Amino acid sequence: MNEFLEYDENKKTIKALNLDDFSIEDLNKYITELKEEINRTEIEIVKKKKLMTEAENFFK
């Protein structure tokens, strides 16, 4: 994934990080990575909604 994010395969979640040890620079990098992940997720939602609409139209 990214430099800071760790994925838990069993739970299908991103593991929480202890931010106390991060420098300000690292925290800013982490925010950037999270924003990129949010953007990637929003794009996936749009794709899935489009597929759902197409499927609904096909089965009408």
Kindly report the pTM of this predicted structure: 0.70
Q: What are phi and psi of 25, to 5 degrees?
A: -60, -45
pLDDT of residue 51: 96
Give the mean pLDDT of the chain. Answer: 89
Mean pLDDT (whole number) for 42-53:
97
10 Å Cβ neighbour count for 12?
7
The model's pLDDT over 20-42, given as tens digits with 9 standing for 90+, comes to 989 999 999 999 989 998 999 99
Instruction: Give residue 54's pLDDT band: very low, low, confident or very high (50, 70, 90).
Output: very high
Percent above pLDDT 90 for the chain: 55
In the numeric block, the tokens 């931010």 are attached to 19
